[in-house]
Structure 1
Amino acid sequence: MQTELIIVSEYCHKCDIEPSFIDLLQEEGLIEIHAEGGEHYLLVSQLPEVERYSRMYYDLSINMEGIDAIHHLLERMENMRREINLLRSQLHVYKRHGLEEMDW
């Protein structure tokens, strides 16, 4: 499996963002930067997150601590959504087996 990488400096130039912003995202643990041959790379799969964070930072003037807090809240919401879906599927199994009469 080949991993697609983008050079950080080229991405920053094309998107008109500061390379130091990418460094801040890495320091906060929000993204991973890969270094190879003196160059720094982003995973293509991380681009939607980087774009979301850059809109928060540059367009909405949310500081890095705020971005980190939003990131953790969104993660918690996603985990809760998965848990709700799992519980719903388990509930459907109980209903299909005639257990809907039980007093929960």
Structure 2
Amino acid sequence: MQDTHLIPLPSLCTHYEIEMSFFDGLNDHGLIEIVSVEKTYCIHQDKIADLEKMIRLHQDLHLNVEGIDAVFNLLDKIDNLQTELMIAHNKLKRFEDF
């Protein structure tokens, strides 16, 4: 990872008006990966979209870290089921064409 692709967590705390302990909780539950660069904790910019979803769940729905973890696990299962359904649909379509 290049340092240019890392965003310092203190600036995210200021921008989103959220405590550093929230990010620590997300890291403890394996929802984000915090990287330390020169004594500054950072997150990779590719993970910002997921992080923003987590922040919205926390701020808008008042979910704690455990709730956010449950929501992301359910969303992951939904994505997997949709993929499996699409594969099954494509296989069925192949047989209907005969």
TM-based fold match above 0.5: yes
Structure having the higher helix fraction is: 2
The alignment's TM-score, normalised by the length of structure 1, stands at 0.83
Structure 1 unaligned regions, length at least 5: 99-104
Indicate yes or no: 2:98 matched with 1:94.
Answer: no
Structure 2 unaligned regions, length at least 5: none
Contact preservation (8 Å) 2:54, 2:68: yes
Select between 1-10 and 47-56 the one with higher mean Cα deviation. 1-10
Give 1:95 shift.
2.2
- Give % identity: 33
* Aligned position for 1:8: 9
Counterpart AA for 1:84: L
Select between 86-95 and 5-14 the one with higher mean Cα deviation. 86-95
Question: Could you list the runs of 4 or more consecutive aligned residues of structure 1 that deviate by over 6 angstroms after TM superposition?
Answer: none
* 1:59-87 deviation line (CA, Å, top 9, x unaligned): 21112211111111111001001111111
Task: Please list, as runs of the form range in 1=range in 2, the aligned pairs for 1:54-65 lying within 5 A after superposition.
Answer: 54-65=55-66
